[in-house]
Structure 1
Amino acid sequence: MSAPGASEAVWRGLTWDHPRGFNALAAAAAQAEGLSLHWDKHPLEGFESHPIADLCARYDLVVLDHPHVGEAVAADCLVPVEALFAADEIAGWQAAVAGPSLASYHFAGQHWALPLDAATQVMAYRSDRIDAPPVAWVELPALSQRRAVALSLAGPHAILSFQSVCGAFGAARSGDAFMDRAIGREGYALMLALTGDVTVKAQALNPIAMLGAIERGEGIDLCPLIYGYVNYATRGVEFADAPRGPDGRIGSTLGGTGIGVSKRCAVTPALLDHLRWLMSERVQRSFIPQHEGQPALRAAWQDAAVNAATGNFFAATLASVEQALLRPRHDGAIAFQTAASARLRAALIAGAAADPVLDDLETLYRTHHPAGAET
């Protein structure tokens, strides 16, 4: 693409620093006709916790996680998808995406991002150490006595894992309470049983670092709940659905990313066409996976050629995406996620009793989630 002229607009986008988050967007921008778009990237930790209003003040397009939408609405820093695209287009994407990938960005009556990328917590393991991945949570404590099983607890992942375990046991977050107490005790007890030496040593590893450790055979044979990255599926890491609870329910909490349009952005037909192109089935089934991306459309996850090229990653974990739970999305959700994870992680490492920890989690939820606020 030729360099933009002095009067040509240049758009700036921000995504996260990983081939899955950057390569496809950068390659697409480089070949876009009539559009000068440059993508910057920031670390995973910044993507998970940096204030969305600050990012929107500096960038036209922002790749975000769905827990940020309540904060974004409160800060009035994103343009709703409904102001950019027709209702039939949005309905078409809703029907086409895997699981609640588009619904996760719906808050206060509107959508705030387009789901370019779908992901959820799945199981990751080494097939040379694990003959057959466990199907149910009840199998994990015994397996951890024979193999190196680690929980993903770094950053926000302790509380996300807890929500998923409880979801597998039947808990559904609603209203002004974070977790049903009886199921919370079950979930905490299970996580405590899996917080052995392997988990303690891995407590600071974010999902990228943990998958790298599994790939290299560095002391972890299996992680039962970790955000799936297709990039590792051809590098010695096998993936399977997240473990199931006693009634067969998969417990997994949605991840993935969406592209939000900031209020500072000068929206043009060319920019909207570029976003449509990224969300199209043809691009999602070819260009995105060919550039190390992880598509959001169900058709890509079911595509035989895409699965053949990625160690069957998508087909092996699609059920987890389709049944995934949503995280809290109210204004204050990121602060709750950060504080609750720190409290839960410290308690698991210390082997603390359940009820004081669960009390603290509820207090943190109420602190960061005003009574009656949208979830």
Structure 2
Amino acid sequence: MSGIQYRGLTWDHPRGYRALEAAAEAIAPAQGLTIAWDRHPLEGFESHPIADLAERYDLIVLDHPHVGEAVAHDCLVPVEEVMGEAMVETLGAAAIGPSLASYRYAGRHWALPLDAASQVMAYAPGRVDTPPTMWAEVIDLAARAPVALSLSGPHSALTFQSVVASLHGAGRPDNAFVDPEIGAEAYAIMAALTGEETRARVGHNPIALLEALASGEDLALVPLVYGYVNYAKQGVAFADAPRGPAGIGSILGGTGIAVSRRCKVTDELCAHLAWLMGEEAQRGFIPAHEGQPALRSAWADPAVDAEWGGFYSATRATLENAALRPRHDGAIAFQTEASARLREGLLNREPAARVLADIEAAFARHHQQGTET
């Protein structure tokens, strides 16, 4: 045994902690490890400064918009240095969609793709017989049934980016956030759906929205919300994100495990991380403990899909086509500001041009021209 105790931080939802804690109890000791996992709320996971967490934790579960900030503060160890180039190459082929690629920045990968997610459609089967596939159909449905957008916290900006991707594809203009014409069209779609239901649930994060659907509240559909497999067993149905002229539009979520500079990397730790990324854990242990795996083989496994109510087959195309968020140093601050401005504009029925101009100004403040996004 190495005798080294590791401290990790993940987020406070069964999808975020149950498999990691169970692996720390059932798997790690046999590998010669002691791992203690702390939890923080979803909002902390989305916005807490990564450098601060890296001073206190050896292992950090994070989302890909943090990588530019992490590189700027030199607080994480590249995955290539921890696990080796060969494993990174193997994971690149095995991970679903851009799950591994999302953590590549400045020529290195900064987290292992533990968990894969993107914004998908969630609905109440008793209220929606056939889920809409196009944005025009979502707007038509909202005239007959309660439909809510996900606008809390960073999610108004994330929803906006997903709509933009369905209209224009995943690319962004050089040194700008969005093409003005495409942005105005996306804003108009969101404005058409910022009705009574959206306003009533404007403070609901994705978990709260899914719990509202699961509990039978007066809500029929959320067109874009981060998919949580856990709710597929609680009466929530899922489908691919709505399409536009460019196809499915969705922004990648999911989580990766990063190794901080304070961590002492040992063979035992590497063995545990390799196990978490391997077929046994990704297709068996993680789904059995309410996790949402990142390997394509797990998403395509009929047994895993059947156990979780068809969640994986219903949303797999969205994962494969998901787009990335900005990841530069300052991306989190920009995401927070842009989301607040979008939410304000939609709720106050402001014209698109004014709101989008403010968002572009925020992007310019938080993004150094010529750097990676």
| TM-score band, normalised by shorter chain | over 0.9
Question: Paired residue for 2:23?
Answer: 28
Q: Is the 8 A contact 2:79 2:112 kept in 1?
A: yes
User: What corresponds to 1:10 in structure 2?
Assistant: 5
* Residue in 1 that maps onto 2:166: 168
Tell me which of 257, 272, 275 is aligned to 2:273. 275
Instruction: Report if aligned partners of 1:136, 1:246 keep a CA contact under 8 Å in 2.
Output: no
Shift of 1:84: 1.2
- CA deviation after TM superposition for structure 1 residue 86, in Å: 2.1
Structure 1: 5+ residue stretches without partners: none
TM-score using structure 1 length? 0.97
Structure 2: distance between partners of 1:264 and 1:174: 37
Query: SS state of the match for residue 294, structure 1?
Result: coil
In the alignment, structure 1 residue 55 sits paired with structure 2 residue 50: no
Q: In the alignment, what sits opposite 2:319?
A: 321
1:334 aligns with 2:329: no
Task: Give the Å deviation of 1:174.
Answer: 3.6
CA offsets 1:319-338 (integer angstroms, 9 cap, x no match): 00000000000000000000
Q: Which runs of 4+ in 1 moved over 3 A?
A: none
**Equivalenced residues, count:** 369
Cross-structure match for 2:234: 235
Range moving further from structure 2, 365-374 or 193-202? 365-374
Q: Retained in 1: the 8 A contact 2:164–2:249?
A: yes
Indicate yes or no: 2:145 matched with 1:157: no
Q: Which residue of 2 aligns with 1:308?
A: 306
- Checking the alignment, whether the CA contact within 8 Å between 2:173 and 2:179 is kept in structure 1 is no
- Structure 2 CA distance, aligned partners of 1:204 and 1:233? 23
Q: What letter is aligned with 1:19?
A: P
| CA offsets 1:244-294 (integer angstroms, 9 cap, x no match) | 0024x1000000000000000011000000000000012100000000000
> What CA distance in whole angstroms lies between the structure 2 residues aligned with 1:246 and 1:263?
44
Structure 2: gaps spanning 5 or more residues: none
Residue 226 of structure 2 aligns to which amino acid in structure 1? Answer: Y
Deviation of 1:355 (Å): 0.2
Residue 228 (structure 1) shift: 0.1
Provide, for residues 57-110 of structure 1, a one-character-per-residue CA deviation record: whole Å limited to 9, x for no partner: 000000000000000000110000111122221111000011000000000000
Give the match for residue 71 of structure 1: 69
Partner of 2:110: 112
Which amino acid letter does the alignment assign opposite residue 164 of structure 1?
S
Q: CA deviation at 1:170?
A: 0.9
1:144-168 deviation per Cα after TM superposition (whole angstroms, max 9, x unaligned): 0101000000000000100110110
Structure-2 residue corresponding to 1:199: 198
What amino acid is the match of 2:20?
L
Bigger drift between 45-54 and 210-219 goes to 210-219
TM-score (norm 2): 0.98
Determine the C-alpha separation between the residues in 2 that align with 1:373 and 1:361: 18
Counterpart of 1:84, as a letter, is: V
In structure 1, the partner of 2:296 is 298
* Cα distance in structure 1, aligned partners of 2:191 and 2:124: 23
